[in-house]
């Protein structure tokens, strides 16, 4: 299980700036396996450090879209 932490910031450029964190727990075994696959060297942790540096939203192909869902 992975917990994604998303920062949401709203700024109206005048006097109101708000920020909050939203978490999303998702079971992504492939990603979890890659992130946990780091190794240790003789000096201890830090030999193979892995971290997620970004997430993209990819458009679904026609075959991946649920039936009855039209893309605008």
pLDDT tens for the chain, residues 1 to 72: 999 999 998 887 778 889 999 999 999 999 999 988 877 666 666 577 888 899 899 998 866 666 665 555
Give the pLDDT of residue 51. 86
Give the pLDDT of residue 17. 84
| Backbone φ, ψ for residue 30 (5° rounding) | -65, -45
Domain borders along the chain are 2-36
Transcribe the chain into DSSP letters. Answer: -EEEEEEEEEE-SSS-EEEEEEEEEE--HHHHHHHHT---BTTBTTSS---------PPPPTTTSPTT----
């Amino acid at each position: 299980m992975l917990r994604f932490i998303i920062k949401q910031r709203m700024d109206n450029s005048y006097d109101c700036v708000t920020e909050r964190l939203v978490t999303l727990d998702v079971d992504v075994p492939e990603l979890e396996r890659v992130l946990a696959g780091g190794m240790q060297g003789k000096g201890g942790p830090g030999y193979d450090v892995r971290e997620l540096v970004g997430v993209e939203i990819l458009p679904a192909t026609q075959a991946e879209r649920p039936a009855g869902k039209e893309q605008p």
